[in-house]
Amino acid sequence: MLSITFAAAISAGSARAQPVEKAKSMEAPLTYEVVRAKKPVRIDGDWNKSDWKKTKSITIEKYMGAIPPFKPAVEAKMMYDNENVYVIFRVKDRYVRSLVQEYNGNVSGDACVEFFFSPDAALPERYFNLEVNAGGTPLIFYVTKPWTGFQKLEADDIKQIEIAHSLPSKIDPEISEPVTWTIEYRVPLTMLKKFSNVTDPKPGVSWKANFYKTASQSTNPHWITWSHVDNAKPNFHLPQFFGTLIFK
């Protein structure tokens, strides 16, 4: 989520959402075992295909800020091979809108799924934030210090991320009725290595990461995390609360 829109999104969301539930304290960060793909994964957005059938999913269900009237059901899965990491999200949703179509635009205002990950095991506070709206448009920065130290990836690098989306690239007007949508992508390790040292995935290696869902400018604004973030206001850029990916 971008800092220039963050305060406005919170203000708009607070007026329409229900009272804040008391946050759980001292909640331990989560772990997820990432299995090796048996073969290169075809990127088509199909949650039910054989590549993902036996892969355990995680549930993104911990709310930051106000609890929305409608709670999306959000799951994600991840795999890897020697060249790539693969991620797929499935969202059972309502109030879906997706307007942004330019790289590194404010996709978090739309219905959006996000994967923040630290591929350098020696520097877990440095991370990529890969945010993809329901129309398949990405934002990705390499962050060395939240809000002040970051590098925006350029189009030539972003195009190396193969993305599939189940909904149209632009969704307007908002879909208010129930709808299920998916985002799937392949991130090449060689592309990441242009910006960060990468501890290559293999059995025994760990990365720090978190998975998120947001739609800050919808009529049902929300900020949801996988690993608990202990912060009063919605803020995904807190790597101290990342969970752990354990490669198997």
Residues 56-65 pLDDT 10s = 999 999 999 9
In the predicted model, is pLDDT for residue 16 greater than 50?
Answer: no
Cα–Cα dist 245/76, whole Å: 13
**What pLDDT, on the 0 to 100 scale, is given for residue 213?**
98
**What pLDDT, on the 0 to 100 scale, is given for residue 108?**
98
In the predicted model, is pLDDT for residue 7 greater than 80?
Answer: no
Q: Tens digit of pLDDT for each residue in 184-205?
A: 999 999 999 999 999 999 999 9
**What pLDDT, on the 0 to 100 scale, is given for residue 21?**
43
In the chain, alpha helices (H): 3-16, 50-53, 155-158, 189-192
Mean pLDDT of the chain: 91
Query: Is the Cβ–Cβ distance between 113 and 74 less than 8 Å?
Result: yes
Query: Is the Cβ–Cβ distance between 217 and 12 less than 8 Å?
Result: yes
CA of 246: how far to CAs of 67, 86, 121, 149, 206, in Å? 30, 14, 11, 27, 5
